[in-house]
Structure 1
């Protein structure tokens, strides 16, 4: 049965990233909500929706929807998420689920009380390169993870002259507060150090101890151009290494023999490096960022199926880590 969804928030991110991928699945966008009339009308034309409102409560009260989706601000996620759950509707929301860990815990309690799922948009788990890496790790062919290193950067322009790092942490850093455990294991300890070279120009290293015994470091900051690749993950094992660059290039370095003096040198299965990158000249929309793959798990979960979609419980863990990180950095 086609899932009927009411959607709150029709900004650029929703209209260009989330909703185009959502409607590729077995859903019907029944109603849209946004406080900006021009954005709302444009989204209505784009997705063929005629039920338009600037009142989120009105949308949530509708009797012709099966679920609510939203991509608005952290405070609105908390407010509207609780409203929808109290009405008995399952919810999908973009990250962060709230502006605080306490708010995320409120949403978890509301989800458990309603007996309805609240799914969170941690699409980094589904980004093409990260998905390939996680499948290799879970296959048993990689062995134990010894360590994780990487970086995840953005630019000073993110702040538009107002140096408040809250948005940077909530909308950017929160991704890797979730991703590191998805790739490795639960975090047992988190510490961090920073350097701040100017207004809004911040670099910090966050260090993780993992339950499995691995260690990790992610460099994050605001001093790199958004026009250049700003994301990399490297996972170290015993004579093996997984590298994911820019979420679209994967290398699995294994344990090849030296080849220079071998007249029979070739590329051997099980020894030499495997690599992958998407073919962007193909007509197919691969969506390497991961929204389509995320929503492939979210849609059936909203209908009651058990899937791997990230839940508000994952959101609570990520938000608690994020607050620990900010405390470590005194930001």
Structure 2
């Protein structure tokens, strides 16, 4: 069954990353909305929408819609998703779902009241390397996750003499507030922060954490690396097991190999030596290694009322709660260092 989707927000991210995945997953873009008339018209033409709106309220009132998707700002995410739910429409929200935990909780309450799902755009769960790692862990032979480390950097943000990292927290750091507990298999229990700022807008933070299941780890995030280089790496440790993910696509699974140098019969043991994988970008295959296509596949399942592994607004509430704590501690640490 093809689902008719109304979409709010036709910027570059939505039109280049999200909308192309709809048709791949039996979803039809029926109507679009943006304050920028040219962007809305471009999306209508490119994806064959039947209607264009400038007011999101008119968009969600469009007849025949099965669900609403949106990629706008956090305040409008909250307001428009609640309005859509009140009309009985399930929702896809790009992250962050709201500006704060309270806003995310309001969406979650509306989702429960309407008995309709709200899917949040935590696509890093679906990035190829992260997906493979999670499948290895959940298969069982990896054993419990004991430790994790992750680095997820971004470029400098310039704020003149008054640096404000709110957007960086909301649009960048929120990903790892969801991804790392998901990989660990349990929410954060507690964490500590170290942060430094060598000039306005150029910040580095280290977060060490413990999860409710006993896993421990650390996350490095900041605005001091070029986005033109790979800036993401994750290590997941078990007992004599280790998974390393680089740039979301290259993955190695280390196990417990024997020493090779003094063994004249040394070979490669299927159950012990390292497994590795990297994609073949020369293959004529339409693969989305960042994870948007797989995320929208699971969103479509949820919209249709079928079982789905898609991250929901309740995952969004958890991530926003962690993000609020993290941001408050980073800002406190930076204020202390500026004194």
Counterparts of 2:5 and 2:158, CA distance in 1: 33
Partner of 1:135: 135
Matching residue of 1:314:
315
Map Cα deviations across residues 210-241 of structure 1 (whole Å, 9 max, x no partner): 12211110000000010111101101111111
Q: Secondary structure at the match of 2:133?
A: helix
SS, match of residue 330 in structure 1: helix
Question: Would you say the 8 A contact 2:159–2:200 is kept in 1?
Answer: no
Aligned to 2:336: none
Deviation at 1:163, TM superposition (A): 3.0
Match of 2:21 in 1: 21
What does residue 109 of structure 1 align with?
A: 109
Indicate if the aligned counterparts of 2:134 and 2:183 stay in contact, CA closer than 8 A: yes
Aligned-pair CA distance for 1:207:
1.4
Matched, 1:149 2:149: yes
Give the match for residue 51 of structure 2: 51
Aligned counterpart, 1:290: 291
Give the 3-state SS of the residue equivalent to 1:23 in structure 2.
helix
Give TM-score scaled by structure 1 length: 0.97
Deviations 1:168-206 (Å, cap 9, x if unpaired)? 000000000001111002211122110111111100111
Paired with 1:124 and 1:138, the residues of 2 have a C-alpha distance of 17
TM-score (norm 2): 0.95
Distance 1:165 1:23 in 2: 36
Deviations 1:113-146 (A, max 9, x none): 1111111000010000000000000001111211
Question: Residue deviations 1:29-80, cap 9 Å, x none?
Answer: 1101111011111111111123111110001112211110000000110110
2:226 aligned counterpart, secondary structure: coil
Equivalent residue number for residue 268 of structure 1: 269
Query: Distance between the aligned counterparts of 1:61 and 1:49, measured in 2?
Result: 15
Shift of residue 286, structure 1, vs aligned partner = 1.3
Determine the structure 1 residue equivalent to 2:67: 67
**What residue is the counterpart of 1:251 in the other structure?**
252
> How far is the alpha carbon of 1:324 from its aligned partner?
0.4
Question: Structure 1: 5+ residue runs without aligned partners?
Answer: none
SS in structure 1 at match of 2:244: strand
Distance in 2 (alpha carbons) for counterparts of 1:312 and 1:180: 17
Deviation at 1:160, TM superposition (A): 6.8
Q: Secondary structure at the match of 1:104?
A: helix
Structure 1 range deviating more: 224-233 or 258-267 = 258-267
Gaps of 5+ in 2: 333-339
Q: Distance in 1 between matches of 2:275 and 2:29?
A: 41
Tell me, in whole angstroms, the C-alpha distance in 2 between the residues paired with 1:253 and 1:160. Answer: 43
